[in-house]
Amino acid sequence: MTSTITGAPTGVAPGQPSPAPEARKKKQGGGLGGYLLVRFLLIFPTIFILVSTVFLLMRTTGDPITAALGGRLPADQLAERVHAAGYDRPLFTQYVEYMGQIARGDFGHTISDNRPVTEVLTTYGTATLELAFYALIVAFAIGIPLGRYAASRRDKGPDAGLRIGAVLAYATPVFFIGILLKLVFSVWLDWLPVAGRASTGAEIAMQHDGLQTGFYTIDAISTGNPQILRDVLEHAVLPAIALGLLTGGIFLRLVRTNVIGTLSTGYVEAARSRGVNERRLLRKHAWRPALVPIITVIGLQVALMLSGAVLTETTFEWKGLGFQLIQYVKARDYVAVQGMVVMLAVIVALTNFVVDIIAALVDPRIRF
Partner 1 sequence: MTATQDTRDVVVDIQDLHISFATDAGTVRAVSGASLQVKSGEVLAIVGESGSGKTVTARSILGLLPDTALTSGAVLLTRKDGSDTHDVTTLQGKNLRDIRGRDAAMVFQEPSTVLNPVFTVGWQIAEGLRAHTQMSASDAREKAIDILRRVGIPDPEHRIDHYPHQFSGGQKQRIVIAQAISLDPGLIIADEPTTALDVTVQAEILDLLRQIPKEFGAAVVLITHNMGVVADLADTVAVMYKGEIVEQADVHTLFAAPKHEYTRALLDAVPRLGGRRFRDRVIVSEADAAFEPVDVDPSATPVVAAQDLRIVYRGRLRQPDFTAVDGVSLEIRPGEVLGLVGESGSGKTTIGRAIAGLTPVSGGSLNVLGVEMLGVKERTFRPIRRRIGFVFQDPATSFNPLLTIAQCVAEPLVVHGISSSAQEARRRVDELLEAVQLPKAFGDRFPHELSGGQRQRASLARALALDPELLIADEPTSALDVSVQARVLDLFARLQAELGFACLFISHDLAVVDLLAHRIAVLHNGVLVEEGTGDEVLGAPKHPYTQRLLASLPVPDPVEQAARRETWRNLRAAD
HSE on the CB side for 28, CA within 13 Å? 6
Total of chain residues touching partner 1, rule CB under 8 A? 45
Q: Among the candidate windows 18-26, 85-93, 94-102, 237-245, which touches partner 1 by CB under 8 A?
A: 18-26
Q: By CB under 8 A, is residue 12 in contact with partner 1?
A: yes
Q: How far is the CB of 9 from partner 1 (least distance, A)?
A: 10
Q: By CB under 8 A, is residue 41 in contact with partner 1?
A: no
Q: How far is the CB of 7 from partner 1 (least distance, A)?
A: 11
Q: How far is the CB of 36 from partner 1 (least distance, A)?
A: 13
From first CA to last CA, the distance across the chain in angstroms is: 19
Q: By CB under 8 A, is residue 25 in contact with partner 1?
A: yes
Q: Among the candidate windows 25-33, 186-194, 213-221, 252-260, which touches partner 1 by CB under 8 A?
A: 25-33
Q: Pick the closer one to partner 1 by CB: 46 or 217.
A: 46
Task: Please give the Cα distance from 269 to 345 (Å, whole number).
Answer: 43
Q: By CB under 8 A, is residue 72 in contact with partner 1?
A: no
Q: Among the candidate windows 107-115, 134-142, 261-269, 317-325, which touches partner 1 by CB under 8 A?
A: 261-269
Task: Please give the Cα distance from 53 to 49 (Å, whole number).
Answer: 6
Q: By CB under 8 A, is residue 109 in contact with partner 1?
A: no
Is the Cβ–Cβ distance between 178 and 239 less than 8 Å?
A: yes
Task: Please give the Cα distance from 127 to 318 (Å, whole number).
Answer: 8
Task: Please give the Cα distance from 167 to 304 (Å, whole number).
Answer: 17
Q: By CB under 8 A, is residue 30 in contact with partner 1?
A: yes
Q: By CB under 8 A, is residue 36 in contact with partner 1?
A: no
Q: Pick the closer one to partner 1 by CB: 131 or 268.
A: 268
Q: How far is the CB of 345 from partner 1 (least distance, A)?
A: 24
Q: Pick the closer one to partner 1 by CB: 20 or 171.
A: 20
With the C-alpha atoms ordered 27, 29, 30, 35, is the resulting torsion angle positive or negative?
negative
Q: Which of 83, 115, 283, 288 binds partner 1 (CB under 8 A)?
A: 288
Q: By CB under 8 A, is residue 43 in contact with partner 1?
A: no
Among positions 339-368, residues that touch partner 1 (CB under 8 A) are: 362-365, 368
Q: By CB under 8 A, is residue 31 in contact with partner 1?
A: no
Q: By CB under 8 A, is residue 26 in contact with partner 1?
A: yes
Q: Pick the closer one to partner 1 by CB: 10 or 118.
A: 10
Q: Among the candidate windows 14-22, 70-78, 294-302, 320-328, which touches partner 1 by CB under 8 A?
A: 14-22
Among positions 265-284, residues that touch partner 1 (CB under 8 A) are: 265-277
Q: Among the candidate windows 27-35, 53-61, 160-168, 206-214, which touches partner 1 by CB under 8 A?
A: 27-35
Is the Cβ–Cβ distance between 235 and 191 less than 8 Å?
A: no
Q: How far is the CB of 260 from partner 1 (least distance, A)?
A: 15
Note the residues at the interface with partner 1 (CB under 8 A). 2-5, 11-13, 15-21, 23-30, 34, 38, 265-277, 285, 288-289, 362-365, 368
